Structures are given as C-alpha cells and as structure tokens.
Amino acid sequence: MALITLRRNFCHLSDFRIHGALAALRNHPINHVHKVSKEQLHPWFCSVQYEPFKIHFHHACYKKFHLQNGNELHPVGEPAFSQVHDWNKFEQNLKNEDEQIFYRRLNEFTSSEEVLSFIKTLETLPDAMAAGALQRICEVEKKGGDQRLPKEILESNVFQALCFQFEQEPSQLSNSGLVTALQALIWLHVDTQSSLVLNLVAECQNRLKRGGLEVHDLCVLGESLIRLQGPGCVTLELIIYQLQDAKLEVFTPEDIVALYRILQACAEKVDQHQTFLNTINNFSLSIVSYLSPKSISQMLTALVVLDQAQALPLVIKLGKYVVRHIPHFTNEELRKVIEAFIYFGHNDRFFIKTLERHVAAFCLTLDADVVSKIMEYCSRKLILSEPILNAVAETFVSQSEKLSPSQISELIEPFGKLNYLPPNAPALFRKLEHVLFTHFNYFPPKTLLRLLHSCSLIAHPPVNFMGKIFSPFFLQKLQGEESHLDRLSMAQLTQLFLSSVLECPFYKGPKLFRQYQVKSFLTPCCSLETPMDFHLYKSVMIGLIDLLGARSYFASKVLTPYCYTIDVEIKLDEEGFVLPFTVDEDIHKRVALCIDGPKRFCSNSKHLLGREAIKQRHLRLLGYQVVQIPYHEIEVLKSRQELVEYLQSKLFPQNSTVHW
C-alpha cells in the first residue's frame, strides 16, 4: 500500500508546518515547486485561477512565518518557535494510529474545512485513508445541498496535495484507495477530462481487465462509471460480468444494495440479467435484517425500477423490517418505500399502525410530497386510517399556502374516495374554498375537476364553483386539444351536475350541456360504480326466488334514467304487492337492492366507499327505497331458511307476510 507522505509532498505548501519541511524544500528548488504547483494542479479545476506560489507558513491563528538561517520557522515579529507540536495537539503519526480511530475521527467532522485541518496535522497518510478523507469531504458537501466544492476548498493546498498524489502515482495505490478516490472526485464534480480523473479511470480499467479487483471495489467502480460515463459504457458490462462470476456469499449487505443500484441503472437490459437478478433476489432474503433504513429504501426502489414482480417474498420481508425503521427514514427514503409498496400492492397492518403513529406525531414536519404519497397509498389500497386522515386534514388547514395545486388535490381526493369526513371538516372545507377562490386559475382543469368531484362524494357539493366548471370556457380548457372529452371527465361532470340538481335545489347557475353528459356511470374502463359481486348476487338471487316465489318478480342490473345501475330492482303497488318486473303501470314504490361485495367497502372495514355512498344517497333522493345487502351480513347466515328470513326482514321490515 502506498503512503501519501505529507512530510514530503506538503512541505512546499503554505498550510503546513511539520518536521522535515525545510529539508524537503532544499531538495526542490523554489522555481521547480512553482512549476509543479501550477502545471499539475491547474488542469483539474479549470475555473480556478491560482496566484504565483509563495513560501509562507501559517499556524492555527494564521500568523505569517518566514525562513531564518535556512532551517527554522519563526512568526514575523515574534521569537523563534521551536516546539512544533505545541501549535496543534492533534498532530500524530498514523503508524501508531488505529485505522478505526482515524475513520471515527473523520466521521465526527461536519465540514470540509474540519477534514482538511485534521489531515494536515498528520505526518503520513495511507492512500486508503486519504481516499476516505476525500469521501468524507464529499459526504459533508452533499449534506449541505451543494455537491460542488467551494473555491476556498479547491484552492486549499491540503486538498490539492491529496489530488496531486493520486494523479502522479495511481499505480502505487491500493485497489480500495483507487476506486474510493475516483468515486469521491466524481461526486465532487471534478473536471471529468482532467488528467487526474483520466489517470484514475485508466488505472481502474487496467486492473479490471487483469481481474484484480475485489467485489466491493467492483461495486464502487461500477457506480462511479455510471455517474461518469452513463449506463451505456462498455466497461460496465465487464464489471457486471465479473460480479456475476463472484460468489454472493462474499458480498456484504452494502455490496448487494450497490449491485441492485448498478443493475437499476441498466434497467433497459433487465432481460439479459434476469437470471442473475433471480439469484440476487433469493440471496437477499438472508441479508434483509442487516440492512440500514437507507439500504432498504434503495433496494425497494431498485426492485420497482427493475420490475421484479416475482420478488414478492423479498418485498414482504423488506416490509417487515420497514416497520422497525419508519422513524429513522428520511423524507425521501420514506416516500420511495411507500412508492414501492404502492407498486407491488403490499399491505401490512403492522406497517399501517406504525405509519399512523409516525404521521400523527410528525405530519407537520413531513415534506408535502411524502404526505401526498402516504395519502395515495391509503387511497390505492382503500385504507381508511382515521389517524392519518385526521393528521393530514389538520396539516392542510395550517399549511395550505405551502402546497401546490397538485399536492392539494392529492391530499383532498382520498377523503372523497374513502368517504371520510375528519373532525375538522368545517375548517377543512372553508380553507379549501378560500384556496380555490384565490388560486382557481392555477389549477389544471382535470386536477380541479377531480378535486371538486371528490368533495361531492362526501356530501359537500362545490356549489360555489359549479357555475365555473359547467361554463363553455372551462369545458373547452378541460377538453384541451383533443377532439372530444374523455369518458371519465364526462362521468365526473355528470355526477356533479346530478349533485347540483338533487342536493343543491337552490342552485340556479349554468347547467351542464347535454353533449357532456354520460348515460351510465357503470362502464368497463372508467366506472364511477363498483360492479356487482357475481357470487354474492347468485346467493341473494336464490333467496329472493324462495322469498318472492318466482324469478319474474325482480330485475337485475337495471339502468335508471339517472345514470346509476341498480343491482336488483323490485316494484311494489300502492297496497304493497310485488309486481312483475315487466309491469310499468301502477308502480307505487321502487325498491333498489344494493348487493355490496367487499370491493365496495374500505379495506378490512364495513365503511362504504365514496362512490357507493353517493350512489345510495342519490337513489334515495330520487325516490327509491334503498336496501343495502352487505356481504358481511350474508356470510354469517348458515342456511337457506336463514337467508330467506334475512331478506324478508330487509325488504319488508313492517310486514309479517309478503304478497306477490
């Protein structure tokens, strides 16, 4: 392993005052030092202009020193300063320093300046540790939000000396030091065409062709080349080929995650690597318990990008460990975890419970994108989580000004879909109405339509905005450049119009033009109703035949003039007699049976979805006697006789006998 000898290479740099500096200066004429500094350092950072080199030394208080008698350093205007160790108590020789202590000290620093100040106190520095120092500089700069190094760091003699050694002697570096240095320099946006980066890349390629790199080094190099040259670089194929030949048992958990990231970057070639991916997916089951929150998030993201639907056992196991790490995820990591769960359809009650506690405690501090993704997850999986919905409602009321139109829609729409009114519903709708009045024109037409339609699902028709959305101007914007309006938008407009007629009789504004209305809300592709559960319907039909005496006394899947489709319709005359479904005269009452299967309810609950709730509400307002037959009541019946008695109590609760 090569040593970056700071005593030799830093001696001519103005920030160092260590033993042996003057001896080294005597071995290098001043003009030569100027030439090396200017010619070798300048190409790395072409934007930085360097002044002619000056022989000045500074101690911790930045006092200038000059040469006296050829072998001593003295502060200007001060007595001779002979005890070098007094100016910095941390100066040490790494030959006697444990490597773990070095890295522990390095990880304590929170700025590039602190890292460089620490490095310059060292007499010698192994190349792997020098690369680690560059990596730490990269980490602290990334945390600051700007990965580009400040000019003062670029001009630091310590930083330049580190880079100088890597450029001049890459063949002497260890594999770990070589790939780590290249990785850090790439992340720090060092000029990719500089001799420094080109030399390191060339040395990495030489060692790769000789097969001299270990698994971890291959992973680091692969990610570096992806960032440097893109996923299409030829060298990356050789790296993946060598990784395929390695035994997975020698991979650390971090290496496995890095391997996923490499394959993720080459997602367009996933078919070529699917056999290898299957092996990795199976092996990864054994390392899940060792993964950090960040690694779990990255692995799930890679599985999504690589479309690993067959890796569901791995997703389920990752989900179990996600529960333990929810408080430790960053906002971005949590967002990607939930995004993966949405993609794979993963639903875990322990995850929901933990997420509820986390959101309830930290909702006001979570990023809006994370909250939106959580609401999307609840909406997609039909999860009626009152703690989450209540916390989001409170967040919206207090922070609506910080939200974009799309974020507002993403937060509010699930309330309508899940048919839930939070405790602060009055404040929620007042705030929403204020936002819409203030920023109406900033909402994309379809986003605005979805938002207003979701309000109508929970019995809050947006009456103050119906005149605007039924206007020809808005309808033209909604249609855009298409030749006609899409079916879903027309259905939402029609249901909003129906709400204005049935639930807002005081509304006297514009009506929806006939050409924008649909005839049925039940369509194969974009339905506003849930199709009837066939098996549940079959059971109910048998009971109805026994109860009514014949199949002719009820009709199925009846499309009403009001766009709704009734599962089963029964007609009664004025005396309560059941009429054949073919009769159209003397009808006194129509009974609408809603045979509600599991898909019409929120997940694992008896709470109707918003689209089913509005349907039953509107049917009642239209004069139907709505009778709900939920699946969870049918499932507990043990015999055909019990079914008949159940249906009789539902249809004719006040009559002891039934007439037909």
DSSP string for 51-98: PPP---EE-TT--EEEEETTTEEEETTS-----GGGG-TT-B-GGGS-
DSSP 8-state code for residue 533: P
440 touches 406 (CB < 8 A): no
- Tell whether 426 is covered by a domain: no
Q: Is residue 72 part of a domain?
A: yes
Among the candidates 163, 193, 210, a domain finishes at 210
Q: Which domain-ending residue is among 184, 210, 236?
A: 210
Residue 67 reports pLDDT greater than 60: no
Query: Quick check: is 506 in a domain?
Result: no
Please name the helix (run of DSSP H) or strand (run of DSSP E) that holds residue 579, with its range, or none.
strand 578-579
Q: What is the mean pLDDT of residues 582-600?
A: 94
User: Quick one: tokens of 278?
Assistant: 């299957």
Q: Identify the band that residue 541 occupies on the pLDDT scale cut at 50, 70 and 90.
A: very high
Residue 526 per-residue DSSP state: S
Plot region of 491 (φ>0 → left; ψ -120 to 50 → alpha; else → beta): alpha
Name the residue with higher pLDDT: 105 or 10.
105
Q: Is 422 helix (H, G, I), strand (E, B) or coil?
A: coil
CA dist., res. 623 & res. 557, Å (int): 18
pLDDT at 172: 81
**Confidence (pLDDT) at 12:** 39
Q: What is the CATH number of the domain that holds 596?
A: 3.40.960
How many degrees, rounded to 5, is the angle at CA 279 between CA 273 and CA 281?
Answer: 95
Q: What is the mean pLDDT of the chain?
A: 83
Buried b (16+ CB within 10 A) or exposed e, 319-344: beebeebbeebebebbbbbbbbbbbb
Virtual torsion, Cα 540, 541, 545, 547, nearest 10 deg = 20
Location of structure tokens 């379809």: 446
Q: How confident is the model at residue 27 (pLDDT cuts 50, 70, 90)?
A: very low
Task: Give me the pLDDT at residue 127, please.
Answer: 76
In a domain, 313, yes or no: no
Question: How many whole angstroms separate alpha carbon 646 and alpha carbon 634?
Answer: 8
pLDDT band at 41 (very low <50, low <70, confident <90, very high): very low
What is the distance between the alpha carbons of residues 453 and 403, in angstroms, rounded to a whole number?
Answer: 20
The whole domain housing 597 covers: 534-651
- pLDDT-derived band of residue 55, with 50, 70 and 90 as boundaries? very low
As a whole number of angstroms, the distance between CA 36 and CA 8 comes to 14
Mean pLDDT on 176-180: 87
Rounded to 10 degrees, the C-alpha dihedral 352/355/356/357 comes to 130
| Residue 430 is assigned to a structural domain of this protein | no
Indicate whether 599 belongs to any domain.
Answer: yes
User: pLDDT at position 314, please?
Assistant: 97
Q: What is the pLDDT of residues 546-577, one digit of tens each?
A: 999 999 999 999 999 999 999 999 999 998 89
Residue where one domain finishes, among candidates 210, 237, 255: 210
Q: pLDDT for 218-257, tens place per residue?
A: 999 999 999 988 888 888 999 999 999 999 999 999 999 9
pLDDT recorded at residue 655:
61
**Nearest of 391, 441, 382, 439 to residue 416 by alpha carbon:** 382
Does residue 80 or residue 392 have the better pLDDT? 392
Nearest Cα neighbor of 591 from 630, 536, 628 is 628
- Of the ranges 89-103, 208-222, 415-429, the best mean pLDDT one: 415-429
Residue 334 in this model has a pLDDT that exceeds 70: yes
Number of domains in the chain: 2
Task: Report the SS3 class of residue 170.
Answer: helix
Mean pLDDT, to the nearest integer, of 204-227? 92
pLDDT at 17: 32
Q: What is the reported pLDDT for 144?
A: 57
Residue 108 lies in a domain: yes
pLDDT of 14 = 36
On whether residue 244 sits in a domain, the answer given is: no
